Amino acid sequence: MNVPEHLRYTSDHEWARGDSDGVRIGITDYAQDSLGDVVFVQLPTPGRRVTAGESIAEVESTKSVSDIYAPIDGIVSEVNQELTDAPQRLNEDPYGEGWLCVIAPDGDSPLAPLMDADSYRGLIEG
């Protein structure tokens, strides 16, 4: 499983990355592999205030429907509209074109509570 070093992770198999415009989030390679072929993605509305741990999106695959949880507190500033027409991007490129949304974080170091690549690798391999 691909677990890029430069990202941070949650135990719900989401990744987060600090960008200039906020924190970009998506699902991990492990998550997309477990879900199987993604057929539908329901994204949050931009402007929505979210709390860490709150369900903000839904990913439906041929196997199941799964909630996506906000990894941090903040306001949704941007969503990946392309996923509406091309949900398969989540399978093809989970860390790139398959990103879900950008959250403008509340705190100064929003990623601090999240796992680093080593810890996440330990989680999925353990």
Partner 1 sequence: MHGKGDQVSTSDYVDETAPSNSARIPAPAGKATSAPLMGRKSEPTIFEFSSPGRRAWSFRTTGIPEWEPQELVPARMLRDRPVDLVEVPERDLVAHVTRLTHRQYSVDLGAYPLGSCTMKYNPKVCDETASLPGLTGVHPAAPAGLCQGWLELLWGLTEALCEVTGMAAATLQPPAGAAGELTGLLLMRAWHASNGERRTKVIIPDSAHGTNPASVTLGGYETVTVPSDERGLVDMAALRSRLDGDVAGIMLTNPNTLGLFEEDIAEIAAAVHDVGGLVYYDGANLNAILGVTRPGDMGFDIVHMNLHKTFAVPHGGGGPGAGPVAVSERLAAFLPGPLPRRSENGSFEWHTPASSVGRVHAWHGNALALARAWTYILLNGGDGLRTVAQAAVLNSNWLRQRLRGFYDIPFDRPAMHEFVASASSLKKSKGIRALDVAKRMLEEGFHAPTVYFPLVVDEALMIEPTETESLETLSALADSLISIATEPPGEAALAPRSTPVGRVDEALAARRLQATWDAVLAGDGRTG
Q: By the criterion CB under 8 A, which residues form the site for partner 1?
A: 34, 36-40, 60-64, 87-88
Q: Which is nearer to partner 1, 41 or 76 (CB)?
A: 41
For the bound state, the minimum distance from the C-beta of residue 63 to partner 1, rounded and expressed in Å, comes to 4
Of 37 and 118, nearer to partner 1 (C-beta) is: 37
**What are the backbone dihedrals phi and psi of residue 79, each rounded to the nearest 5 degrees, phi first?**
-125, 155
Quickly list DSSP for 55-95.
EEEEEEESS-EEEEE-SSSEEEEEE-THHHH-TTHHHH-TT
How far apart are CB 58 and partner 1 at their closest, in Å? 13
The Cα 100–Cα 2 span in angstroms is 18
Nearer to partner 1 (CB atom), residue 69 or residue 110: 69
